[in-house]
Amino acid sequence: MAKLIIQIPCLNEAATLPQTLADLPRRITGIDTLELLVVDDGSTDGTAEVARAHGVDHVVRFRAHKGLAAAFTAGLDAALKHGADYIVNTDADNQYAGADVEKLVQPLLAGAADIVIGDRNIGALRHLPLSRRWLQRIGSWVVRQVSNTRVPDTTSGFRAYTREAALRQTVVSEFSYTLETIIQAGKKRMAIAHVPVATNRKTRPSRLFDSVFTYVKQSAATIVRIYALYEPLKVFMAIGASAFTIGFAISLRFLYFYFTGSGTGHLQSLILSAVLLIVGFQIMLIGLLADVMSANRKLTEELLYRVRSIELAGAAHSAPADTAPAPAAAAPDTPVAARDAADAGRRHG
């Protein structure tokens, strides 16, 4: 009995959600139960009500706006609680062709992948401005380099996870989950596949990409931060060694002048080299410290994974099978609160 839950993170999507839902398949070969889950990120346009009225099985509703990354993880959490074997994420603006959900889960069903990313073939998307197409390409290239994966379209929100892969995802950034999850999966050596997917006609302009400058800034910050999280020694050693090397070269120059008898008048370069040597050395030490801390984070992630597994196994025994959508959404919000607590713990840890 394989169960697939399709999750849709939403922020004020009452207008386009019905269209998106209508476009999604109701049956997929190899899947016995297919359910829909909407994460309403504190929408003010009645998105949650629209979702329920259109037969969405589960609605997770935040009372305040928390951002896409939080909505994505809350969706995964809720889908796991509802017993999903496979989870597909898609966007509420009907950007991705619903029929391709089937293509997306095929590698999972075949046991060939842990995560499948839908590839929109960005270069060919004529409705996107050229600047955005190029930025996405460059961004995807950078993410491929730092994650050691071959995902062509790293910002794609159309993706599928196995239960196991969803259990192992821990998102710490707030801007967007798309890049972080791929770097993380690559660093954890999960099997990431990609399939070409079709896109529908554009329903509304992108909300995540309103200004090129903020988009690039946020994406770059996410990539650097997540890479440093997984490869702290490499990052700090590179920075520290550069400073140290420059300082060393300058000190050699000073020593040359000193021993050839013209050491006076080179005090400035001596100070500069000393500062660079000290700073470089300190940065390398910070790298060692960060490396020790990252070992800790790995343990915390493993612990989180096991706790989640136990929690879910317990829930499967005690809770009655979930049927109707919760009326006041009090129940679906609880796991989110629990996750937030875990999140806060992780951030301080």
Q: Which residues lie near ligand GDP (CB under 6 A)?
A: 9-11, 13, 39, 41, 67-68, 71, 91-93, 95, 157, 206-209
What CA–CA distances, in Å, run from 263 to 248, 254, 260? 16, 7, 8
User: What is d(CA 331, CA 335) in angstroms, rounded to the nearest whole number?
Assistant: 8
Q: What residue 202 binds from ligand GDP, Mg ion, none (CB within 5 to 8 A, per partner kind)?
A: none
User: What is d(CA 142, CA 116) in angstroms, rounded to the nearest whole number?
Assistant: 19
Q: Which two tokens stand for residue 343?
A: 């999140």
Closest approach, Cβ 32 to ligand GDP, in A, equals 27
Closest approach, Cβ 126 to ligand GDP, in A, equals 15
CB 108 within 8 A of CB 160: yes
User: What is d(CA 292, CA 145) in angstroms, rounded to the nearest whole number?
Assistant: 24
Q: State which residue, 93 or 231, has the beta carbon closest to Mg ion.
A: 93
Please identify which residue in the block is written with the tokens 């991705």: 96
Q: State which residue, 221 or 289, has the beta carbon closest to ligand GDP.
A: 221
Closest approach, Cβ 331 to Mg ion, in A, equals 30
Q: State which residue, 93 or 180, has the beta carbon closest to Mg ion.
A: 93
CB 172 within 8 A of CB 347: yes
87-106 positions binding Mg ion, by CB under 5 A: 93, 95
Please tell me the count of residues contacting Mg ion according to CB under 5 A. Answer: 2
Closest approach, Cβ 107 to Mg ion, in A, equals 24
Q: What residue 68 binds from Mg ion, ligand GDP, none (CB within 5 to 8 A, per partner kind)?
A: ligand GDP
Tell how strand 115-119 and strand 159-162 pair up: antiparallel
146-205 positions binding Mg ion, by CB under 5 A: none
Closest approach, Cβ 206 to Mg ion, in A, equals 5
- Burial degree of 300 (CB within 10 A; 0-12, 13-18, 19+): middle
Q: Which two tokens stand for residue 336?
A: 């989110």
Q: What residue 326 binds from ligand GDP, Mg ion, none (CB within 5 to 8 A, per partner kind)?
A: none
Q: State which residue, 8 or 235, has the beta carbon closest to ligand GDP.
A: 8
Q: What residue 13 binds from Mg ion, ligand GDP, none (CB within 5 to 8 A, per partner kind)?
A: ligand GDP
Q: State which residue, 208 or 246, has the beta carbon closest to Mg ion.
A: 208
Q: What residue 100 binds from Mg ion, ligand GDP, none (CB within 5 to 8 A, per partner kind)?
A: none
Q: State which residue, 68 or 329, has the beta carbon closest to ligand GDP.
A: 68
Q: What residue 298 binds from ligand GDP, Mg ion, none (CB within 5 to 8 A, per partner kind)?
A: none
User: What is d(CA 143, CA 61) in angstroms, rounded to the nearest whole number?
Assistant: 31
Q: State which residue, 25 or 67, has the beta carbon closest to ligand GDP.
A: 67
Closest approach, Cβ 206 to ligand GDP, in A, equals 3
Q: Which two tokens stand for residue 22?
A: 């209508």
Closest approach, Cβ 175 to ligand GDP, in A, equals 10
Question: What is the torsion angle, in degrees rounded to the nearest 10, for the CA atoms of residue 250, residue 251, residue 253 and residue 258?
Answer: 150
Give the distance, in angstroms, between the CA of residue 331 and the centroid of all CA atoms in the same chain: 25
- Fill in the amino acid letter for 55: G
Closest approach, Cβ 180 to ligand GDP, in A, equals 15
Q: State which residue, 90 or 95, has the beta carbon closest to Mg ion.
A: 95
DSSP letter assigned to residue 122: G
What is the Cα gyration radius of the chain? 24
Q: Which two tokens stand for residue 296?
A: 């800790």
CB 39 within 8 A of CB 7: yes
62-91 positions binding Mg ion, by CB under 5 A: none
- Please give the residue ranges that form the binding site for Mg ion (CB under 5 A): 93, 95
